[in-house]
A and B are shown apart, each in its own frame.
Chain A
């Protein structure tokens, strides 16, 4: 009996590991891109997209696993970016030391916002996080010299790794790919942990989960804090990449874009944030769309995804592939969704 249980767990572990493999393969291929001498424009856009993807992995834990949509996620990225810039300016703290500090700052902000916001939940939480994004932009805009007001802050410090200057575009690109890989693995580890199953149980039926002894409020705040850590790291990478940050980069509109990316890509699958981040970053570039046309396309994509592909683009692709291979469709959600009793196990 015990042996059977061990075999079951080993099988599950292997299956979980197999779900990570496609992302790792894709990221390995992405890491090889510099070998083909891409243009610097491409590398620059890819870095921006990669930085977004890191934040999206955090958002996917919150939205995909817990079912809570934040419309103020860019504000958490902003907290990380401003923490890095202020630490560098006032204390001479460099890139690597800023990473954990900014991640903690964003996580702390997520907790401060999360405690009152998650008491209401649902649509109210969306509104609360949206308001938080706006509020942060107002605070930063009116923060005087400390936040650089509306002009923002400069960050000119070099990024070095083992003595090598990482400011070079190709090196920064590879570094961002490494961070995206870490974020993907971390997100995968959360999804496949008992904690991930607990979050999914809350997502599926909050009341039932609570009746089984799961502390729903604490776990929801925890998920928001975890997403804040991802956002903080994303903010540091952004601040050092641009060399200048300002409040407008972290207002509500960029938050809506982040939510859009994760919804289009698919929040519940490990490939989703990667697909969403790349798609939204490169679609206007490939199709030569201006911002108005882009928004129309994103809007249409979002409607299509909500109506036809509830697991996002990647979920749809996976389902289509499975249907093509086996001859009958098998919704991805069936595999991913956990019941509260499963979570308790």
Chain B
């Protein structure tokens, strides 16, 4: 009997010790991140935890968040999806069911996000993804209360908006550098899910700006020899070749295009002027670049410098797509504000708050979500003159999609 009592007491003690951290964690709110920190999508993937992590640190350093009269600290729980859908799904299951996060950010890969949403949405987890292709599923029916994507938010502008502002910015900045109004454009696009989706909008945006776009040339993902595609593009005698969308592939293609003299000017989507400078790239023709959404190497956005100074100081590497971190950083602050406004972590009240708030972020002083849970903000476009001088401007999105 004594032994049984001793065992019981020991067990109770152990349980007490084990229970203590759980009690201490009562004031911790966990935020999950699923991103490609390794594998083929690592370039964009590593920006995600870096952006969220910085926001979490800023919020905690400022004292945390006050929800319903109680103070909470945030904790980021990140998982590498290894650019593999089975791992992304397993990571999401773990974060939702085991770690019990209040919100999830990611992933950058479109297909993965759609599969992840099948787990986060039934579990009523607030899910942010900086992926404009989510427009395909975010409809008035799907986001209404009880709808299958009620807790899903798109933290990147709708594609007609981003394409519209980018096209306008590219043409506006290149015109004075070319010395005439460019009329003919050719698009060279990676033939994958994102490339197909994005290019259809950018094509319409260029047409809406009066461009003659005789061809969209698709190249297989992971192409290294672009000469067949560039030769085809050159034969069309374009004023601008638009490399759309993969920044890493674009950096491989540009030197080949310059060598071939494929066009009178170029546009590199998703290549930051910072990379242009760091790699000491140069061209004898004007080259436009755009960032998603604000550039770190050179920017016209007054808040960008402070943000990127803090971002890189936290250990994030300088990358082609470092600016993608802003598609997540601002929304951690936005979400924290929504929780404070809702006075609760209840997902339905949080969604209500997210839809009514006007958040002051780095990207914009007035970030809001529309009724289909999509954000609207400007996109930054820069242009490097043949001499090397870089100028940038924030381009506001068009109010409506161009008529096809």
Interface residues of A (CB under 8 A from B): 39-45, 48, 141, 149-152, 154, 156, 169, 241-244, 246, 248-249, 281, 284, 290-292
Known contacts A40-B97, A151-B111, A244-B118, A141 near B196 by CB under 8 Å: yes
Bound-complex Cα distance A290 to B133 (A): 27
Known contacts A44-B93, A291-B82, A151 near B133 by CB under 8 Å: yes
A290 touches B115 (CB 8 A): no
Interface residues on B, range: 35 or more
User: Is residue B298 contacting chain A, with contact meaning CB distance below 8 A?
Assistant: no
Query: Which A residues are in CB contact (< 8 Å) with B197?
Result: 150-151
> Which of A149, A241, A242 has the most chain B CB atoms closer than 10 A to its own CB?
A242
Chain B positions 332-390 with a Cβ under 8 Å from a chain A Cβ? none
| 0 or 1 for each of B187-220: is its CB under 8 Å from A? (1 = yes) | 0000111111100000000000000000000000
User: Is residue B159 contacting chain A, with contact meaning CB distance below 8 A?
Assistant: no
A156 touches B118 (CB 8 A): yes
Bound-complex Cα distance A136 to B33 (A): 33
Known contacts A150-B195, A151-B136, A41 near B111 by CB under 8 Å: no
Residue of A nearest to B118 (CB): A243
User: Is residue B177 contacting chain A, with contact meaning CB distance below 8 A?
Assistant: no
Bound-complex Cα distance A141 to B194 (A): 11
- Least CB distance from A165 to B in Å reads 11
Known contacts A243-B118, A248-B193, A284-B82, A151 near B93 by CB under 8 Å: no
Query: Which A residues are in CB contact (< 8 Å) with B137?
Result: 154
- Least CB distance from A255 to B in Å reads 15
B97 touches A242 (CB 8 A): no
B39 touches A45 (CB 8 A): no
Contact among B82, B86, B133 with A48 in the assembled complex (CB-CB below 8 Å)? B86
Query: Which B residues are in CB contact (< 8 Å) with A45?
Result: 86-87, 90
- Least CB distance from A135 to B in Å reads 13
User: Is residue B84 contacting chain A, with contact meaning CB distance below 8 A?
Assistant: yes
Contact among B39, B94, B110 with A44 in the assembled complex (CB-CB below 8 Å)? B94
Q: Is the interface of A mostly helix, strand, loop or mixed?
A: helix
- Least CB distance from A266 to B in Å reads 23
- Least CB distance from A141 to B in Å reads 7
| 0 or 1 for each of B227-246: is its CB under 8 Å from A? (1 = yes) | 00000000000000000000
B193 touches A151 (CB 8 A): yes
Query: Which A residues are in CB contact (< 8 Å) with B118?
Result: 156, 242-244
- Least CB distance from A105 to B in Å reads 22
A150 touches B192 (CB 8 A): yes
Query: Which B residues are in CB contact (< 8 Å) with A39?
Result: 94, 98
A246 touches B38 (CB 8 A): no
> Which of B37, B91, B192, B197 has the most chain A CB atoms closer than 10 A to its own CB?
B192
Known contacts A43-B93, A248-B111, A152 near B85 by CB under 8 Å: no
B38 touches A141 (CB 8 A): no
- Least CB distance from A152 to B in Å reads 6
- Least CB distance from B29 to A in Å reads 20
Residue of B nearest to A284 (CB): B82
Bound-complex Cα distance A154 to B148 (A): 12
B89 touches A48 (CB 8 A): yes
B193 touches A152 (CB 8 A): yes
B94 touches A290 (CB 8 A): no
A169 touches B38 (CB 8 A): no
Query: Which A residues are in CB contact (< 8 Å) with B133?
Result: 151
User: Is residue B114 contacting chain A, with contact meaning CB distance below 8 A?
Assistant: yes
Known contacts A141-B196, A242-B118, A248-B192, A291 near B97 by CB under 8 Å: no
Chain B positions 9-51 with a Cβ under 8 Å from a chain A Cβ? 37-40
Bound-complex Cα distance A248 to B196 (A): 13
Contact among B84, B93, B96, B114 with A244 in the assembled complex (CB-CB below 8 Å)? B114
Bound-complex Cα distance A169 to B84 (A): 19
A246 touches B90 (CB 8 A): no
B196 touches A150 (CB 8 A): yes
